Structure 1
Amino acid sequence: MIRKLAIAAAMTVATASVASAQDCTAITVEDAFDLDETQINVLYDCLQEKMATGYAKEGDDIGSNYRSWAATATRPAVAGPHGNRLLNTFANDVAAEQYLKFEEEGFEMPIGSVLAKESITVSIKKKAARPGPLFIMTKVGLDEAPDAGGWLYSGLQPNGKVMKVKQSFCHDCHVGWEAQDSLGYPLEEVRVTQ
């Protein structure tokens, strides 16, 4: 009898753990912009390992290594672009020094700069969050990408598969930040300060 009770208790704990893991992605807001800092941190804590593992799944060099780069924000935030997803940007060693200045004009990122933006997709309809794509910007120079300001846009699906990306689709939005070398930055309240 005691053994049956112990097994039943263990099954209850295991079931509660699974339910708890699933509940950490639940949302109650009607708009992603209504998520507060605590809610965003809970979602990120819940999903960050799943994102990192998923992006690395196919062995992509950026998807496998971006987490060792410089974080540019203290947490993800909704900036508006990228489908109102929560974004968290990392900068490689070539990009970090310049990017982290968050300058608004009069500079150009060095060739070889790579930015990787994790994203969390917030589904208001499903009342849940899930990993979104890893958006990637690579500064290759005007010779290689003359129509995109010297940037190559790419991405990885949450399962690590390469996304098909139309360069003009990305650049048509990023050109709005032409004075800052087509870079959108994290929201001011979450930017890492040097």
Structure 2
Amino acid sequence: MKLRLTIAALATVTAGAAAAQDCTAYTAESSFDLEEPEILAFYDCLKDQMAEGYGAEGDPVGSVYRDWAVTSTRPAVAGPHGERLLQTFANDIAADQYLQFAEEGFVMPAGSVLAKESITLSSQRGAARPGPLFIMTKLDPGAAPDTNDWLYAGVQPNGKVMNVQQSFCHDCHIAWDYRDMLAYPLEEVRIGQ
């Protein structure tokens, strides 16, 4: 049985790794250089702001995704979404299959929804801030053949829906066509790994 956690069960760290005045300040040259305590401090500082912001306009995913299964022990920089720190949540339909982190030979069930929080690191300001909530929804077979039945969407940190060009997202996700277009969290932070 795979371990499932909700956001409430994640370990938190005080913002001691960040500046006392601003818990989102950092001095690393790149998000790839951040250490785990600093990443956890950013997340601890921003997580409530992100959840409130994504749900501010009543988006059906942005309002509820925090009740879903979290798929990693902390946010991490995977690369596909730039140098953003990412934390992925899977709804009940997606969780059992997604948390297997299978490498091939499966198709996610229709109705699966994945929501990926992001933290953007601004090198000019030396501060972390909420980025978009990226959303993938698996549609019924044949509903969107150009994207392998995935619908890509997003919510801005203020809750406004993003205008997402399907081909833009899919052109990147096609790199994982052998595992139904899924780019998983880094192996060292995956739940149950």
TM-score where L is the length of structure 2:
0.88
The residue aligned with 1:86 is 85
Per mean C-alpha deviation after superposition, the further-off stretch among 94-103 and 142-151 is: 142-151
Which structure has the larger Rg? 1
The residue aligned with 1:155 is 154
Deviation, structure 1 residue 141: 3.2
More helix by share: 1
1:71 aligns with 2:70: yes
Per mean C-alpha deviation after superposition, the further-off stretch among 137-146 and 112-121 is: 137-146
Q: What is the distance in 1 between the residues matched to 2:150 and 2:170? A: 8
CA contact (8 A) 1:47 1:130 kept: yes
Ranges in structure 2 where 5+ consecutive residues have no aligned partner: 1-18
Amino acid at match of 1:85: R
Deviation, structure 1 residue 190: 0.4
What is the identity percentage for the equivalent residue pairs of Structure 1 and Structure 2?
67
Q: What is the distance in 1 between the residues matched to 2:124 and 2:54? A: 25
Q: What is the distance in 2 between the residues matched to 1:134 and 1:141? A: 23
Q: What is the distance in 2 between the residues matched to 1:124 and 1:142? A: 42
Q: What is the distance in 2 between the residues matched to 1:104 and 1:23? A: 40
The residue aligned with 2:135 is 136
1:169 aligns with 2:168: yes
The residue aligned with 1:4 is none
Deviation, structure 1 residue 124: 1.4
Q: What is the distance in 1 between the residues matched to 2:49 and 2:113? A: 22
1:109 aligns with 2:108: yes
Q: What is the distance in 2 between the residues matched to 1:179 and 1:144? A: 20
Deviation, structure 1 residue 173: 0.3
* Aligned residues: CA RMSD: 1.2
CA contact (8 A) 1:88 1:118 kept: yes
Deviation, structure 1 residue 142: 4.0
The residue aligned with 1:57 is 56
CA contact (8 A) 1:141 1:149 kept: no
The residue aligned with 1:45 is 44
Question: After superposition, what is the alpha-carbon deviation per residue over 1:6-35, rounded to whole angstroms, capped at 9, x for unaligned?
Answer: xxxxxxxxxxxxx94x51000100111000
Q: What is the distance in 2 between the residues matched to 1:163 and 1:142? A: 25
Deviation, structure 1 residue 167: 0.2
1:29 aligns with 2:51: no
Q: What is the distance in 2 between the residues matched to 1:95 and 1:178? A: 17
Q: What is the distance in 2 between the residues matched to 1:141 and 1:78? A: 31
CA contact (8 A) 2:111 2:138 kept: yes
TM-score where L is the length of structure 1:
0.88
SS of 1:115's equivalent?
strand
CA contact (8 A) 2:110 2:141 kept: no
Q: What is the distance in 2 between the residues matched to 1:145 and 1:98? A: 21
Q: Where do 4+ consecutive residues of structure 1 move more than 2 Å?
A: none
CA contact (8 A) 1:77 1:86 kept: yes
CA contact (8 A) 1:32 1:124 kept: no
Q: What is the distance in 1 between the residues matched to 2:183 and 2:141? A: 19
